[in-house]
Amino acid sequence: MRDPFHILGVAADAPPARVRAAFRERAFRCHPDRNPGDPRAEERFKRLVAAYRSAMHGSPEPASCDRAADAPPPPPIRERYVCPRCDDTFPVPEPCFRCGDEVFDSLEQIPTPAPADPRVQALIAELERARPAPVLSPGPDFPFAAAVVFAVVGASAVHVGLAPLGVMLFCFGALLVGREIHARREIHRTQLG
């Protein structure tokens, strides 16, 4: 094969962007679809593609798909630190996120404890500390559902013309909610103080 840079019409020390631009320009001109009556257009185009690949990658022949299919797949990437239980690998010595075990250094074959982050330990301690129940947490003894039922029935009664009954039911529901909120605030105040 002749000099690929000569076929592309660029200097041998041309940057890749210039080689790519020259290839695109010439490929556009000599593509077989643009020259349907020329029997040598396909041969010229193949020579141009081979020259481009050689100029860009240093290989005159394209990589064969058959060779790539026959080649075994690359082995999985093994990082330096290994979990002894699940055999996961990690680039840094932190506990395994899947099983929580300490990892060991596969180069030294000695288990390496992961350094404890003081910020994480402080956050865990804060979350484990007992906290008082919030004032409006609906629990099993909170008559929230009953209050909602009374409010809905009261509003419906007002809508159908039974205004006094509706107002009475709505106020009773609101009274239940207010009473429970007051009781929760008292419990909350005694837990804090």
With respect to residue 100, please indicate whether it lies within any of the assigned structural domains.
yes
Residues 157 and 183 in one domain: yes
Can you give the pLDDT at residue 144? 65
pLDDT at 64: 45
Same domain, 61 and 90: no
The helix/strand/coil state of 52 is helix
H or E element, residue 184: helix 163-192
Q: Is 129 contained in some domain? A: no
Structure tokens at 93: 């010595």
What's the CATH number where 30 sits?
1.10.287.110
Quick check: is 105 in a domain? yes
Domain count across the chain = 3
Answer yes or no: is 55 within a domain.
Answer: yes
Residues 86 and 106 in one domain: yes
Same domain? For 88 and 107 the reply is yes
Alpha-carbon span 160 to 156, nearest angstrom:
6
Within 10 Å of residue 74's Cβ, how many Cβ atoms?
Answer: 6
Q: How far is CA 111 from the centre of its chain?
A: 31
Query: How many whole angstroms separate alpha carbon 8 and alpha carbon 45?
Result: 11
Highest averaged pLDDT of the listed ranges 11-25, 75-89, 151-165: 11-25
Q: For residue 90, what is the enclosing H or E element? A: strand 89-90
80 lies in the same domain as 59: no
Q: Are residues 49 and 30 in the same domain?
A: yes
Predicted confidence (pLDDT) at residue 165 exceeds the cutoff of 60: yes
Instruction: Judge residue 81's burial from the number of C-beta atoms within 10 Å of its C-beta, 0-12 exposed, 13-18 middle, 19 or more buried.
Output: buried
pTM of the full structure: 0.32
Question: CA dist 188 to 147, 176, 178, Å?
Answer: 22, 18, 15
Residue pLDDT, tens place only, 21-46: 998 898 888 888 888 888 888 888 88
pLDDT band at 106 (very low <50, low <70, confident <90, very high): confident
Tell me if 137 is assigned to some domain: no
Q: What tokens appear for 156 in the block?
A: 């419906």
Same domain, 61 and 8: yes
126: in domain:
no
Please give the torsion angle defined by the CA atoms of residues 142, 146, 151 and 154, in that order, rounded to the nearest 10 degrees: -150
- Whether 60 and 93 share a structural domain: no
Residues 8 and 62 in one domain: yes
Instruction: Identify the band that residue 61 occupies on the pLDDT scale cut at 50, 70 and 90.
Output: very low
Range of the domain at 108: 75-116
Is residue 127 assigned to a domain? no
